[in-house]
Amino acid sequence: MKRKCKIIKKIPLIASLAFLVGCTTTPEPKAFTSKADKYAYVKEYMRWYIKEQMDDKDLVGLSVALVDDQKIVWSEGFGYADKEKGIKATPQTRYRAGSITKLFTDMAVMKLSEEGKMDIDKPFKTYLPEFKIKSRFGSTDDITPRNIMSHHSGLPSEWLDRMFDSDPLPYTEHVNLINNEYVATKPNTVFSYSNLGLTLLGYSVEKVSGMQYAKYVDKVLLAPLDMIHSDLEMALSGENASKSYSKGKETNELAIGEVPAGALNTSVEELAHLAMMINADGKYGHQQLLKASTLKKMFTVQNANVPLDVGFKIGLGYFVDNELLGEKDTVYQHGGNTIAQNAYFAVSPHSKLGVVVMSNNAGTDAKNIANKLLQKTWEAKTGKKVEKKKLIVSHNSDFSGIYSTVIGKVTIEKGSKDEYIAKTNSGKFKLYKTKNNTYKLKYKLLGLIPLGDDELDKVELYTDEIEGNHVIVASMEGQTFLGGVKVEIPKHIPEVWHSYMGQYKIINNFEPKEWKIKETEFKIEDGFALIKQTYNSGEKSTTIIKPINDTEAIIEGLGRSMQETIYVKDGVVYAQGLRFEKIEKKK
């Protein structure tokens, strides 16, 4: 929230960094009812909330749309689509939807399935014959359109070379570039979000339909949904196109080649039509776009029998949330991020509500705004309060150890009673026990002063033993996900890997300046082989790798980008489409 602060003098310097005394927030609007508009207070509250978020996070432009059954009952723009020219953001402002594109790719597959042209349980190579990838788990026939849509195919997460670029790598080329790559896990082992998988899936849509991917999706989905100003172009341009911003300043929003995974350009007003179609069981206007039974298949949880997913739920493309509106009302959702734009789509067919939030700023929490709007609207429509279920853990084993996590290598040590200290690239965190037998995080500024944080305070952690893995499970607002897995110091690192240690330069560096890799070092530390990287942004990462032979190593951990193979060939290190060359020391 925006804080109007008076700094009291004579506060010790270190304390003033942690706390600005006398801070207040703009008052929240008081609740009221309106006979003319049952959502009047929701709109007023959300206008206040969005403006507070924009002021606090230095956001430039944002648009929202709210759907009740077959009507857009509220849509509005905030801030600017183009700050320099003074062009305001509106419901018609066109943004980049990012990964929400995947929903349209998945629906295109299901449309072909309805027509008998695709069987989502057949081997994926049936529909993309060029598909070939190495596996340590036997045949790749278990990779299917179904588990690609649910991100359980075991395919690598990314192909990072020219992902966002002024001359991006076309999506049709990816299938020929992965012949020397390995699948990360056996299919249906663990959720691992894969842009690469959806890019390949989109190419299979093209092969099966006999039409270019974008033309097919436009024909069977965008045009029938009256998304006439939406497109699947690699770059955002044309009428009502928003500029992109980072920290309040305009930034270059480069084109994306992975069109089926993230190239949708649209507005909140047009994307809201998707929610209307879902609320009508697949019908929009006078046309049945998808069968009601097809939507039911897409909303059916696919990973109920995957223990390592720790209760996290996903359907065919849509993330499934049984907590946001309470256990009896399920929400289906998906978000999207590009270099500096953010979007979120959520729909509840049971209550026939839908929300869309899109923004032109890096760092916008579009999901948080969308969820807040959906909850407030649901309460106004039903007259009930959302009942949040508390997470209570019956057991919690020792956190101590070294973990491969979603934020890299984390070392956790026992502190005082019921406390642990977690050391990360971002500094130190204190883990303290709650009444529910979970643990929460508190950041320590300069390793000294604990700071509270709105987002950190929502995260609860506990440990579990799952299929031979000691894991940290993270829970946030009722949603659980795999936070990290404990790793053991290897008994032996092949001798040749000691010769690989040292500084490296990246051969095919990212064009987006925010993503550029400044330094890369291979290092053996605390008995582990590590890849330590520093980016132009100042961010750092430490990845634990496990050499398995003289030329190949596996990234330790479970989940996105984990268990993937990096390999050395002719002195060059290959990882997710990136190439690194060792910097030889001057004699």
- For residues 410 and 471, state if they share a domain: yes
pLDDT category of residue 178 using cuts at 50, 70 and 90: very high
- Indicate the residue among 426, 456, 486 that finishes a domain: 486
Confidence of residue 12 (pLDDT cuts 50, 70, 90): very low
Same domain, 333 and 454: no
DSSP state of 488: P
Contact 494, 547 (CB under 8 A): yes
Q: Which position has the token pair 């067919």? A: 349
Q: Are residues 325 and 470 in the same domain?
A: no
113 pLDDT band, cuts 50/70/90, is very high
Residue owning tokens 């095919």: 508
Give the single-character DSSP code of 126.
Answer: G
pLDDT digits (tens, 9 = 90+) for 464-522: 999 999 999 998 877 889 999 999 999 899 999 999 999 999 999 999 988 999 999 99
- Do both 540 and 428 map to the same domain? no
Claim to verify: residue 149 and residue 227 sit in the same structural domain: yes
Is 42 domain-assigned? no
587 contact partners, CB below 8 Å, separation of at least 6: none
Would you state the torsion angle of the CA atoms of residues 149, 150, 153, 157, taken in this order, to the nearest 10 degrees? 90
* Same domain assignment for residues 290 and 319: yes
Q: Are residues 466 and 517 in the same domain?
A: no
414-428 pLDDT per residue, tens:
998 889 999 988 788
Over residues 297-312, the pLDDT tens digits come to: 999 999 999 999 999 9
Range of weakest confidence among 280-289, 438-447, 490-499: 438-447
Within a domain: 38: no
Residue 288 counted as domain residue: yes
In a domain, 17, yes or no: no
Residues 192 and 301 in one domain: yes
Q: Is residue 438 part of a domain?
A: yes
Over 90: is that where the pLDDT of 530 sits? yes
Q: Enter the tokens of residue 496.
A: 């040749």
Query: Which pLDDT belongs to residue 397?
Result: 76
Domain that includes residue 229, residue range: 96-382
Helix axes 292-299, 101-114, angle to 10 degrees: 130
Domains of the chain: total: 3
Residue 503 and residue 543 share a domain:
yes
SS3 state at 231: strand
Q: Tell me, yes or no, whether 499 and 482 share the same domain.
A: no
Residues 307, 164, single domain; the answer is: yes
Query: What is the C-alpha separation between 156 and 188, in angstroms, rounded?
Result: 14
